[in-house]
Amino acid sequence: MVLERLIVVGVAFSMMSGVALGADDLQKRAQGMFKPVPHAAPVFKGNKATPAKLQLGKMLYFDPRLSASNLISCNTCHNVGLGGGDLQETSVGHGWQKGPRNAPTVLNAVFNVAQFWDGRAKDLMEQAKGPVQASVEMNNNPQRVVETLKSIPEYVAIFTKAFPGQKDPVTFDNMARAIEVFEATLLTPDGPFDRYLKGDRKALTAKEQEGLRLFMDKGCGACHNGVNVGGGGYFPFGVVEKPAGEIRPVADTGRFKVTHTASDEYVFRAPSLRNVDLTPPYFHSGKVWKLDEAVAIMGSAQLGIKLNNDEAGKIVAFLDTLTGRQPKVEYPILPPNSPTTPQSLLQ
């Protein structure tokens, strides 16, 4: 009887410690593969953040006068109240034109290795100059943007404060610098997964931990890792199996258009999966609205495996823990036009 109890206790103890060891081990493995989102923006070499620059960057981010129509701001397509996206398959810009790709989130974008689905802009500053000029987005040009900003006395004053000592501070590049500084503050720390990585094992439920385990064991973490659980490298979309033509349209060859190297055909930057629950639809084509469907496609396209509904459900439960505290951004009051401010070009 005593022996029996000892055995039972022994088995129970080893089972418990087995579970505990497994959980410890999972947390350690996760800590080796992912990093929590930090609370503070990184420091840029050559573009130091100052309160004036941050204030200016925020105003510019929300100012539709960067667009030729006076209607479209960065926030139109990267709505900071909607997880930094626009909930469109592909973005709608100047004159209601539909662009070719889905808008990735700006939240935590500063941690991506490079910007855009194909990584064609090396950082946020370079990136910010793109949409202002893209005809299907804001359809403006640098001269007209500078003319607009210079026509507004309050902007001239803030540019002068943000870029002290410069003779002519209102420039297109300085616009991009200020926007970069603001964007770098759009971080989402303290989600359940961040708390788990920082040591709180209870921050993830048993199901979410199973999802994390599957995510690592099945091989998702090979491409989606680091702070952003992605955003760190380039991979073919369709490593093992070609995704359906609608999901990976033939015309968009991805990184090939940047490098002109045959092996880069249909190569895209693995997107960050931070806040992925908030930013449907998915993939560069935006053709998939359901996260479990996107996960299943990843299984077959990237890994050659068929995830069953239970597995996909657990992985989605884990992905939901990547939603962090959303940045609270107070909408800026924008300075008024002057009589010389260019008018909307949208007729």
Decide if residue 232 touches ligand HEC (CB under 6 A).
Answer: no
Binding-residue total with ligand HEC (CB under 6 A): 52
Decide if residue 124 touches ligand HEC (CB under 6 A).
Answer: yes
Shortest reach from residue 186's CB to ligand HEC, in Å: 9
Binders of ligand HEC among residues 144 to 183 (CB under 6 A) are 179
Nearer of residues 12 and 62 to ligand HEC, judged by Cβ: 62
89, 137, 183, 311: which one is catalytic? 137
**Whole-number Å distance between alpha carbons of 287 and 31:** 33
Decide if residue 191 touches ligand HEC (CB under 6 A).
Answer: no
Nearer of residues 163 and 282 to ligand HEC, judged by Cβ: 282
DSSP state of 255: T
Residue 229 region by backbone torsions, left for phi larger than 0, else alpha for psi between -120 and 50, else beta = left
Question: Pairing mode, if any, of strands 267-269 and 92-93?
Answer: unpaired
**Strand residues in 33-106 grouped as ranges (E):** 92-93, 97-98
Decide if residue 255 touches ligand HEC (CB under 6 A).
Answer: no
Decide if residue 64 touches ligand HEC (CB under 6 A).
Answer: no
Shortest reach from residue 233's CB to ligand HEC, in Å: 8
Which helix H or strand E contains 267, and what residues bound it? Answer: strand 267-269
Written as one string, the DSSP assignment of 176-209 is HHHHHHHHTT------HHHHHHTT-GGGS-HHHH
Decide if residue 93 touches ligand HEC (CB under 6 A).
Answer: yes
Nearer of residues 2 and 329 to ligand HEC, judged by Cβ: 329
Assess contact for 225 and 197: CB atoms under 8 A: no
CA angle 248, 251, 254 (to 5 degrees): 70
Shortest reach from residue 7's CB to ligand HEC, in Å: 41
Where do the H-state alpha helices sit in 78-167?
124-133, 142-150, 153-162
Is 265 an active-site residue? Answer: no
Shortest reach from residue 203's CB to ligand HEC, in Å: 20
Nearer of residues 16 and 180 to ligand HEC, judged by Cβ: 180
Decide if residue 321 touches ligand HEC (CB under 6 A).
Answer: no
Residue 278 region by backbone torsions, left for phi larger than 0, else alpha for psi between -120 and 50, else beta = alpha
Nearer of residues 59 and 132 to ligand HEC, judged by Cβ: 132
Helix 153-162 to helix 172-183 angle (10° resolution) is 70
Which helix H or strand E contains 235, and what residues bound it? Answer: strand 234-236
Decide if residue 37 touches ligand HEC (CB under 6 A).
Answer: no
Of the candidate residues 99, 191, 211, 324, the single one contacting ligand HEC (CB under 6 A):
99
Q: Kindly report the length of the chain.
A: 347
**Interface with ligand HEC (CB under 6 A):** 66, 72, 74, 76-78, 91, 93, 99, 101, 103-104, 106, 109, 112, 115-117, 124, 127-128, 131-132, 137-138, 179, 215, 218-220, 222-224, 235, 237, 239, 268, 270-271, 273, 276, 279, 282-284, 294-295, 298-299, 302-303, 315
| Active site amino acids | 137
